[in-house]
Structure 1
Amino acid sequence: MTPARGRLRIYLGAAPGVGKTCAMLDEAHRRMERGTDCVIAAVEHRDRPRTAQRLEGLEAVPRRPDGEVDVAAVLRRAPAVALVDDLAHTNAPGGPRAKRWQDVAELLDAGIEVITTVNIQHLESLGDLVESITGVRESDTVPDEMVRRADQIELVDMSPPALRRRLAHGNVYPPDRIDARVSHYFRLGNLTALRELALLWVADRVDEYLTRYRSEHRVSAVWGSRERIVVGLTGGPEGRTLIRRAARLAEKGAGGEVLAVHIASRDGLPAAPPRELALQRTLVEELGGTFHHVVGEDVPSALLEFARGVNATQIVLGVSRRKAWQYVLGPGVSSTVARDSGPDIDVHLVTHAEAGKGRGLPMARGSRLGRSRTVAGWVTGVAGPGLLTLLLLGIGVGGPIGLANEMLLFLALTVAAALLGGLLPALASAAVGSLLLNWFFTPPEGTLSISEPHNVLALTVFVSVAVSVASAVDLAARRTQQAVRLRAEAEILSYLAGSLLGGGSGLQALLERVRETFSLQSAALLEREEADARWTCAGSVGPGPVAARPEDADVDVPVGDRMALALSGRVLPAEDRRVLAAFGAQAAVALQHQRLRREAEQARELAEGNRIRTALLAAVSHDLRTPLAGIKASVSSLRSEDVEWSEEDRAELLAAIEDGADRLHQLVGNLLDMSRLHTGTVAPLIREVDLDEVVPKALGGVPHEQADRVVLEVSESLPMVAVDPGLLERVVANVVENAVKYSPDPAPVRVSASAHGDRVELRVVDRGPGVPEETKERMFEPFQRLGDAPRGAGVGLGLAVARGFAEAMGGALAAEDTPGGGLTMVLTLPAARTGVAGGAAARERA
C-alpha cells in the first residue's frame, strides 16, 4: 500500500538572517515536547550562536560525505518529521539528485512530514525581478509549484533596519566574511523591496486558499479580505479612463487587484471594436491587472455574477453614453448594477470624455426638455390625433364608443404630448384634437358647428384641461432645471469654500476649473499696476488667446479694485456672474497665497543664510585663529635674534608653519566650495573617466603618516563614470579624510568600488565609532561635527561639500553602518553609456 504523501511546512523569509532556521528549530522543539518524533536531516547554522543553541536536544541523521542530505538514511530512520534547511540549495555534483528540493520531494512521497526554509529570492519565477532589485542573479532556485503545494507557508518577517542592525552586530555573517557585495545586497532599499515581494507573494497564496475554501464550502457572500476591483468595459474609448481610475483605487488599498471584464451579450447590440479591446487589455496588464471575457444574456446580471465569483469589493463603471430618450427602454446597466449590487459591493460611476465634454452649468432659459423629447412631443401632438381619429372611425374598433370616451382618449393623447414636449406640443394637440372631435364625433358630424350646448362645455373643458396639464409640465421642467442649476452652483461654491479652508488650490488649477466648468477657450486673472494703470497677466490657462485687457475678453468679472477675471471663448449669460464672482475672489486669494509662499521661501532662504553666516563666524573665529596663532608663533620664534635654533628646531618650526598653512588652505577651500553650492554657481563639466585614474589622485591629500592605512580596491575593469573629474577628486578626498580622522589607529580605511547596472558605487569603510541612525542625515549639513570629534577636525564642511558636489554631478552620497562596527560612506555615480566595453576600448586607445 502506497503511504500517504507527507505534509510540507515552509518558513519563508525575505532575506538571509530574518530567523527562518531558528523558527524551524523552535517548531521542532515544540513538537518534541508533544511527543512527535523529529530528526534533523540538514540544518545550516553558519556559525550563528543562537542557531547552534537550538540544535541541542535534537537528533541529527548523519549526512553524506559530501555534506548533502542522506535521503536513504532518513528513510531508514523513518521519523514523523524531518527538518531540511535551505530548500533551494544545489547539491554537490555526483549525487543522486541535483537539488535539495528533490530530496524533500522524495521524503514527502515516503509519507514523512518535512519542515524547511527558503528565501523569496530563490523562487524560480522571481529570478528576473530579484536581479533587477539587487543586481544579483540567484543560481540556487526552487520551482514555484513546489512551494505552492506546501500545506503551510509561514512568513518570517523582520523590518529592514532591524535586519541591518543584526548584520552590523555580526549576528548574520562574521565581519571577515562581509565584503562590498554583501553590504550592497543588504541596503535598505533592497531589503524593503524584497520584504514587499515576500508579503505580496504570501498574500497571493492566502488568497488562493481563501478562494478554494469559498468554493469548497459554497460561500457566495463577498468577503472583503482585500480590495478586488472589477472594471466593466463596453469596448468604447472611455474604457482606458475607467482602467486607470480603478488602478488608482487599487493603489490606495494594500494588495489591491484590478480585474477588467468585457461582457459579450447576445441581445443584438453591436460588437465592441477588437482593436480597442486589445489596447485596453494591454493597458490592464501593464498596470498589473487581468483581462476577462464573459458571455451573458443579461449584462448587469453577468457582471454582478462575475464580481461575486471573484469576491470583488468594488465595481467601476462609466457614465452611460445613451441619449436621454433611450432611458425609456430601461434604467441602463449602471443603474441596474448599482441597484442590485447589495451592501457588499461598492459601485463607482466614473465620468469620461465620451459622456460629454465640459461641465457647463445648465442653461437657465431655452429648451428644458431636450431635443429628442421635444420632437417626440410634436409628433405625438400633431400626428397622434389623426391616427387616433382613424382608429376610432373603425380601424380596429368595433363601433362607436361615445363622445365622452372619445374626448377622454384625445385628452390622454394631449397629456402624453405635454409630458413629452411641453407646452407648445400640448397646445397643438389640443387644437388639432378639438377640431377633429368637432368634425368627426360631435353632432352634426362633418361640420364645425355644435348643436348641443353640453358638447360646447365638453370641448371647452377638454381644451382647458389640456392647457393646464401642459402648463404644469412646463413649470415642473423649469423648476427641475433651476434646481439642477442651483445644485451645480452649490457644488462649485462648496468646492471653492473647501479649497479656501484647506489652504487653496493653485492659481493655475483654479483657472483651469473655471475654463472647464464654463467650456471656455481661455481664462486669465489680470492685475492692474498702480503706477501706470497697465494690466498684467498674473496667470492664464487654455489653448485660446488670452485677453490683454478686461474689455478685450468675452466676459470680464471685476475682482476688487485692481484685478479682473478675463474669459474668452463665448459670451456667458448674466446669471453665471454670481458663480464667476466667487471664482474671481478665490483666484485673488490663490494669487495672494502663491505670493506669500514665495515670500516665505525667500525669508527662509535669508534666515538659512543668516544661520550659516552666524555659524561660520562662530566656527571660523576659532578655526582660523588656531592655525594663524601657530604660524605667528613659529614665525616669531624663527625671527627671534636672541635665540640660536638648531637645525632640528628650525625644521620643526617650519613644519608647524606648513601644517598651519595647509589647514588654512583646506578651510578656505571648503568655505569657497560651500559658498558656490549655496549660490548655485557650481557647473560641473561632465565627461567619461575611469575611477582608477581619479581616486588615487584624491588620496594624495591624506597625511603621509596615515597614508599606509588607506587600502585601495578599485578594479580597472569597472565601467567608466560620467562625472567632473575635479569635483569627484574633491568628493573622494573629503570623504576619505573624514574616515581617516575617525577610524582608530591602526584600523585600515578601505576604499572599494563595484558596478551595479547603470551606476557605480564607491564605498569608503572605516572602523570608527559609527553614527546613530537619527543623525546620519544631519551629519551632511554644514558646521555639523560629532560630540567626540578629534582635535583639529575642522568646521564640519567636508561632508556637506562632498554631498553637494556629488549631487551636482548627478550622483548621491549616503552613510551606512559598517558590519561589525564603523561607518561606510557610499558614493553612487552614474555609469558612462559606453559601459565596460567602452571603458576598456577607451583605455586601449589611450
Structure 2
Amino acid sequence: MKVFLGAAPGVGKTYRMLDEARRRRERGTDVVVAFVECHGRRSTVEMLEGLEVLPRLPRRYRGAEFPELDLDAALARRPEVALVDELPHTNTPGGRHAKRWQDVQELLDAGIDVLTTVNIQHLESLNDVVQKITGVPQRETVPDEVVRRADQIELVDVAPEGLRRRMAHGSIYAPEKVDAALSHYFRVGNLTALRELALFWLAGRVDEGLQNYRAEHGIASVWETRERVVVALTGGPEGETLIRRASRIARPSSAAAPARDDLRRTSLRPGGDLLAVHVARSDGLADANPAALAAQRRLVESLGGSYHSVVGDSVPAALIDFARAENATQLVLGTSRRGTLVRALTGRGIGETITALSGDIDVHMVTHEQSGRGRRLPVPGRLHSPVRRITGPLAGLVAPVLLTLLLSQTRGAVNLTSDILVFLVAVVGVALLGGVTSALLASLTASLLLNYYFIPPIHRFTIYDGNNVLALLVFAAVAVVVAVVVDRAARLARRAARATAEAETLSALAGSVLGGQSAIEALLTRLRETFGMDSVALLRRTPEDDGTYLDEPARREEIAQVGPRRTAVGERPADPVSAQAVEEVPVGDDAVLLLCGRPLPAADRRVLAAFAAHVAVALDRAHLAEVAAEIAAEIEPVKAADRMRTALLAAVSHDLRTPLAVAMASVSSLRSKDVEFSAEDQQELLAGAEESLGRLNRLVDNLLDMSRLQAGALPLDLRATALEDVLSAAVHSLAEGPRPDAEGPRPDVRSHGLDRAPAVLADGPLLERVVANLVANALRHSGGVPVLVIASALAGQVEVRVVDHGPGLPADDRERVFLPFQRLGDTDNGSGVGLGLALSRGLAEAMGGTLAPEDTPGGGLTMVLTLPADPS
C-alpha cells in the first residue's frame, strides 16, 4: 500500500496518485481505478483519461442514492494495482464494511497493491488536535496504525499561500464557495498548523522506519539524522538539574516558549527527542532513592520525554549500549559527587569512562550543587567473571611466590610471626579476588613456602620445633576459615545487591505501568529494556496451539509487540546458535511472551516471572474493562429509556392536561343551558378550544415523530430543495394558525445568501419543520430584535445559520437543550414539552446533516444547520 498524505483538501493528492498510476501503466503494470473522487476539478478529470475505471456501486439509503466502491468487482477484476481515493471515507450502510480502509485491507489481503489518499486531519490520534486548531470536527477518521503499516507514505505538500492562490483561481472549489472557504477552514494559520502536523507525523514515521532498518542490519554506529538526547539519572538530588539541561539541549525553543501540549501528546515533538535512563546496578552500587526517581520520571514525562530503566553490571557500558541502541547523538551526565581524595584513590570515574567509550556520541558533563560532596565507594563487581576466574587461581599461585622473594631479602630483620601474618594477608586478598577455591590454593602454596624457606631447618620440608608445627597448622586453619568467611560475605553482599537491583527494576516497572496509557505495551517495553532483548511480543494461544513452535503462525494471535525485529510467530530462528534465540514464557492460561535476543541466565528468571505476572494481571484488567464496557453499553439504552419515560410522564402530565382542561371547559360552557353566550363569546370559546386542540395535535405529532426517529422508521423523501422556498414556507407557517410561541403578525425574519446557496438534499416538509422550530425558538429569545437566517456553501455542504441576539446560552447547557423534555430558560406554560430542538436535531441527522449551537458575536445564540448539497 502506498499512501499519498496531504495537509488539507486541494493539495493535489488525487492528482499525484493518478500521475503515479499513469507512470505504472506505461511500464506495463495492470492498473485499475477502483474509486476516485475528482470533485469536478478539470485537471484531475483529465488525468483519468486512458485509465481503466471500474463502475461505481449505487447504494440507496434513506431515500437517496450514493455511489460507493464496488469491492466485489475490484476483487473479481484482480488487477496488480488498484486506486482507492479517500481512505477514511465512511461507507453507506448496506455493505460488509463500515469504512473504506477496511475495503482496502481486503484488497491487500487478496494480493492487490493499493494506491490511496488521506489528509492529516483524518488520522484518529490528531482528530481532537485538528478540531482545536480549525474549529471543525472531523467525523471521518482512520486509525493511525492503518496508515503506519503502509509500505510507502508520500507527502503531497503545498505552501499555505500557494494553496490559497489555487483556491482563488477556482482550481479546488466552485467560485461561489471560494470566499467562504478562504475565510473559514483555509485561513493561513489553519493551513500552516495542519502542514506542521503533517510534517511532524511523517517525520516520526520515517524515524521509526530508520530504527527498524538499523536494527535489521545490525548498525551500531550513530546516524545523526535528528538530535536524540539521553540523560543519565542516578536518583540523586542533581537529577532535576540534569533533566532540565538535557531538555534545553534537545529542544532549544522550549526555554523561550511554552511546551506544545497537543504535539507532545501525539508524539510530534518539535526539536529532538529526550530520553532519561536509570541503570540499576547488580554489583552492589544501589544507592538510588526510589521516591526521587519517581519524581524525576514525572518531570521527564511532563517535558515530553520518556523514562527508561535498565539493569547492568557496568554503568558506563550499560549507558553506552542504551544510547547506541536508541541512536542517541548526545549523552548528558552529572559531574562526579566523589570528593578529590576519593577520586585520587579510586582513579577514573564513570564520567571519564563513558567519555572514553562514547565514540561519535557527544558527552555533556553538567555541573551541579552536589559536585564533589561525596558518595559511597563502589563495591567490587561480579564475583566470578571470566577474568576473575582466571586471575584468582593465578594469584593464589603467584602471590605467595612473590611474597617469598620479598621476605627472603629481609631474613633476620623480620621474624617468623611477621612472615606468617604477611602471608595471611595475602591469602585474604586472594579470597576477595577469586573466592574460596583460589584462597585454598593460596593457603596451600603459602604453607609449603613457609615451611621450606622460613621454618628451620630451611630448604627442607621438615620441622624440628613443635611450636613451629603449631604455628603452621594455625596459619593454614586461619587462612581457610578467613577465606571461607570472606567468600561467603561477598556472596551474601552480591545476593543482597541483586535483590536491590531487582526491587528497583520492579518499582520502576510499576511506576511506568501506572503512569502510562497502555499497561500491556508499557510492560513489554520495560521487559525489553530490562533484559536487553531485541523484541518482545505477547501472543494469545488458540485451542490448536500445543505450546511449542508451530509451522502455522495463524494459530497464535498477536496482542502486542515492541521492538523493531523478532522472529516470525511460530517459526524457529534460521540459525539455532545465533544470538537471535527465541524464548517462550507462559502468561496465564492462554497467552505467551515471545522474547527474541540473547539467552537469559537463570538468575534473571525470578524477575522475568514477576514481569509475566504483571502482564497476566494487565490482561485480566483489560478483559474486565472490555466486559464492563459491554455491560455498560447494554445497560445504557435501558437507563436512557427509563430516563425518557420519566421525563415524558413528568412533561406530558402537565402539557397534556392544560390544553385538555381548556378545551373541555370551552366545550362544557358552550353546551351549558344555564348561561346564554353572545355570538362573540361563543366564537372566543370555540377559538380557545381550537387552539388547545391544535396544541394537543402538535404535541402528539412531535411525540410520534420522536418515536419514529428513535426506532429508525421515519420515512424520508430526499430530493433537491431550495432553501429560499423552505424559509418562506416556515415563516408563513409561523404566522398562520394557532401557535403558542409566536402569536401575532408575521415574524420579523431577515435572510441573507439563501438565493445564492445551492439546493440541499433534504425532505422538504421535514426541513420546513426544522427551520420553523429554529426560527420560532430564536424569536422567543431575541427580545424583539429581528432574527437573521444566513446560508453559505463549503466543501459539498450547505450551512444555514439562524441568528438571534438574545441572552444566549451557557456552554454547559448547549447539549442539554437537544435532549427531549428540556425547557431551559422557559417558565411559561406555552413553551411546549421541550421537543422542538430535540426533534430538529433528530430530523437534521436523519437527512444526513447536523445541528449545533454557536455564540453570536455581540451576544446571543446561533443555531448552525449543516446539510449536504444536492450533487446535481
Q: TM-score, normalised by structure 2?
A: 0.41
- Under a length normalisation based on structure 1, what TM-score does the superposition of the two structures give? 0.42
